Amino acid sequence: MYRNKNLFISASFLLGFASIISQVILFRELLSVFYGNELCLGILLCVWLLWVGLGSYSGNFISNSKLRFLTDLSLWYFLLALFSVLTIAGIRYSRIILNVLPGELIGFIPMFGFTLFILAPLCLILGILFVLNSTGWQFSSKQELLVTRVYIWESLGAGAGGFLCSLLFIPFLSNFSIQSWLFILLFFFSSLLIKVWYRRAIVIFLIFSGMLFFKLGRVDNHLEKLTSNKLWRGQNLVKSVDSKYGNIAVLRTAEQISFYENGLILFSYPDEFSSEEAVLFTIANHPDPEKMLLIGGGLGGTLTQALKCNNLQIDYVELDPKIVELGKVFLPQIEVNSLNDNRVRIEYKDGRLLVREIYEKSKKDYDIIVLNLPDPYNAQLNRFYTVEFFEMVKGLLSLNGIFSFRASSAENYLNPEQALYISSLQRTLQSCFEKIIIIPGANNIFLASQSANLTDDWEQITENLKNKNIPTTFLNEHFLSNRLSAERKEYLHNTINSFKGEINYDLRPISYYYNTILWSAQVKSPGKRLFEYLSRLDSVWYFVFALLLSFSCIFLILKKGSILPGLSMYAIFLAGFTSIGFEISLLIIYQVIYGYIYSQVGIFLTLFMLGIFSGALFISSKSTKADFRTLRQLQLLQVILVFLTLIIIIFLLKVYFGPGILQIILGSMIFLSGFTGGALFTSGNQIYLESKGQKKAGSCYAIDLFGSAISAILTSAFLLPLLGIPQTILLLLLLNLIFLGFICFFMARLRNKVL
């Protein structure tokens, strides 16, 4: 048993600090392997929470073990330090383990299996440490109070870690460097927990000697280079950079250079075919374009192709400045000259946010707007393919202005999954523009306008390009006569129109779900049928299932007989489920309206963890012990919060707020969500432990994490795209209302002395 209170606070704080930093960094690494759609994110978060929950449950048995070394906190913090580095190294060997090449799609089963394997040791240790910190200190006679204190300080540590990681560490340090410094910090702290003083002194001396060797000898840089090369399976990796938006890798093969972001290819150079089709179809359809907005994808030849049009001024918006910086270093001089051309103005900003700012000023400046981003394979990209975004784009176009984007397709045959996906994009675009055409090919080119005379006639397109004195390699009569044959256009038109993909909205991002179905079909995932079935299921069935599940859980609690501890555990499970679903929904709302969420996630995460800290502190500081009345009051607060959020979401769709005001509104809601979640956990945990005792110290923490894990994958991968954010919040409201009703029912029975 340990007795130092300051050491206890440090241990609990550091546990949360290390947990959240490792989670952010390792998720960034895994997303470079799995390409980062919401199904991937849901799997990663679900697996993380499940293993930590299982670790917490296992901690019940470890803390009661008679083997002294198993309860030694020094050993477990050393293991945490060790696996914080080994896990990131293991992730970088993933493509060798999974036997996949860079850019190759990975199926659901291999993705889930590898994530389950690689995160297991680290997450189990985190869960076990929560329990050992709750049982291994001897200055509190009440076990439930010690669990609460660990929960409080861990939450505060997680909030501080999230804030520092997102706003300080990630912009200036690589992922591997962050984890190596975390390794040193945890290793040093583990030495402070060694009880024998001379052993502690020896370990501390070794740590500082090792740190000098590790840093001054640049061992960490060599290890990072070695592991990064393993991630690319022997390809010639010439540069790998971590920015706050993800990892950018530059690879060279013979004369070709390729840029990857988070494992997905951005562009290869030379690739004249891709760069020509990105902009020249649009330029050919406009009689005399003078001003163009290019959203993403300017490198690799696209800007060079657009500058072939005389007198065309280009506003090029790119989110990550490091992409342009690396382009100037590794691309040929002709591309660097395009970036430095006085007709090009580069804006480093989220493209959607820039469009929103120009739209609010009611400027109709652009003759051409080209969206040159990847397909909407996640919610971040999906916001560029919605009704709301298309309406803003329409407001920026001048008379006869043209908007265009590309979507992955197939030249000769569209399978049902591709047709459904393309159909959704077509119907969304048609709901905003009077005229649209689709150029068939390996990439379908969508062109839209209110009044321009759009053409997909190959003779007219080639004639227009010649009249503008634009030389081309691929967009000529020899190539286009085949690509734009009457048979190809008719086949594409008939196939797409035989499917009724749903319209894509900001708050119901169905297109990225269709893209998930398409991805599942391409990798022959066994989950494809499930995704397809759920996409056809009426939303009312989700509410019916929620009702049945809620009543079934209550029935099982009644049948088991231990009503008070059973309901307290269900309250904790539901609080975890609601908090994660709530937080994901609000973060996506902010992302949809005001840009890339990654730059703000540290602030929101800190607010959420501070909310948990405040809620747990509020309950633990009450002079009276937590009881069922407290649980009812907190559950009522949860219901009110979810209901108010639903009203606010509907209101946000109708009224424009500045980013600062929206941050305050959503930040307050996230803080309150954390507060109610922390308070419900603390109250339910005290009720449960009073009846179960010290041997169950990790049970409530485990059930809280299990609820969060289930919510993470259901909300991000299924509920948000299929139901939309308002109906997802409504579903959470229904679940909490049902439980509040049961609490009131049982309290009435208690008053009548039925129980």
**Cα(588)–Cα(170) distance, rounded to whole angstroms?**
21
Residue that wins the pLDDT comparison between 478 and 233: 478
- Residue 586: name the closest of 504, 663, 689 by CA: 663
**Average pLDDT in the 239-256 region?**
85
pLDDT in tens, 306-341: 999 998 999 999 999 999 999 999 999 999 999 999
**Cα(28)–Cα(24) distance, rounded to whole angstroms?**
6
Fold (CATH) for 270-512: Rossmann fold (3.40.50)
Residue that wins the pLDDT comparison between 153 and 136: 153
Tokens of 650: 């509907």
In this prediction, residue 387 carries a pLDDT of 96
**Cα(715)–Cα(711) distance, rounded to whole angstroms?**
6
Confidence of residue 266 (pLDDT cuts 50, 70, 90): confident
In this prediction, residue 165 carries a pLDDT of 85
Query: What are the CA-CA distances from residue 496 to residues 171, 409, 414, 416, 514 (Å)?
Result: 44, 11, 9, 9, 14
Element (H, E) at 141: none
Percent of the chain with pLDDT over 70: 89
pLDDT in tens, 461-473: 999 999 999 999 9
Tokens of 660: 């600062």
The answer on pLDDT for 646 being more than 90 is no
Residues of the chain with CATH 3.40.50.150: 270-512
Residues of the chain with CATH 1.20.1250: 1-231, 537-755
Q: Is the pTM of the predicted complex or chain greater than 0.85?
A: yes
> Mean pLDDT highest for which of 139-143, 275-279, 742-746?
275-279
632 burial type by CB count under 10 A (0-12 exposed, 13-18 middle, 19+ buried): middle
The angle formed by the CA atoms of residues 220, 225 and 231, to the nearest 5 degrees, is 125
Three-class HEC string of 280-314:
HHHHHHCCCCCEEEEECCCCCCHHHHHCCCCCCEE
**Cα(577)–Cα(49) distance, rounded to whole angstroms?**
11
Q: Which CATH architecture has domain 537-755?
A: Up-down Bundle (1.20)
Confidence of residue 200 (pLDDT cuts 50, 70, 90): low
pLDDT in tens, 534-547: 888 898 999 999 89
pLDDT in tens, 74-131: 889 989 999 998 999 899 888 888 887 776 777 778 888 899 999 999 999 999 999 8
Q: Tell me which of 126-135, 309-318, 488-497, 642-651 is least confident.
A: 642-651
| SS3 call for 94 | helix
pLDDT in tens, 673-721: 999 999 999 888 888 877 765 556 678 888 999 999 999 989 988 899 9
Percent of the chain with pLDDT over 90: 45
Residues 533, 712 contacting (CB under 8 angstroms): no
In this prediction, residue 755 carries a pLDDT of 45
- Residue 750: name the closest of 578, 564, 525 by CA: 564
Question: Mind giving me the DSSP string for 462-508?
Answer: HHHHHHTT---SSSSHHHHHHHT-HHHHHHHHHHHHTS-PPPPBTTB
Fold (CATH) for 1-231: Growth Hormone; Chain: A; (1.20.1250)
The answer on pLDDT for 28 being more than 80 is yes
pLDDT in tens, 587-628: 888 877 766 665 566 678 788 888 999 998 888 877 556 677
